[in-house]
Amino acid sequence: MPNIFYDSDADLSHLANRPIAILGFGSQGHAHALNLHESGCDVRVGLYPQAKSWTTVEAAGLRGVDVPQAVREARIVMMLTPDTGQGILYRDHIATYLAPGSTLMFAHGFNVRFGQIVPRPDLDVSMIAPKSPGHRVRVD
């Protein structure tokens, strides 16, 4: 049986001095990045150079950087890009930049479960699976 955690279970002190990279700024990336940022966490949003959401990220008061830079700066990396491209993204732009002891997070377990992403043994891996789309996770 999985553990389910709620707001009252959260202790944000565990995130102090742990920069966070949110990769992607779609439905889930938008919600996660803004919720963490507004909770006082050190957040950057990793995007590919041609992403249409650069201006949206900046308009939201967040810092957008390319994916490798976001991963190099972070100790927690949350992959919130479409499942279909995560394997290539991980191999080409994430894996070599993750510091030992970093936490790699997912909102869906498909790529890890089916071997598209094989995290190194020196990484912590977790999944935060929201009960709803990002626009329902966050009230703007």
Query: What residues are annotated to the active site?
Result: 108
Query: Which residue in this structure is represented by tokens 């790699």?
Result: 104
Separation between Cα atoms, residue 25 and residue 13, nearest integer Å:
25
Separation between Cα atoms, residue 125 and residue 2, nearest integer Å:
15
Separation between Cα atoms, residue 6 and residue 2, nearest integer Å:
13
End-to-end CA distance of the chain: 33
Contact 79, 56 (CB under 8 A): no
Query: Which residue in this structure is represented by tokens 């990002």?
Result: 134
List all residues 6 or more positions away from 45 whose beta carbon is below 8 Å from its beta carbon: 21, 22, 23, 24, 25, 29, 33, 57, 62, 63, 64, 65, 70
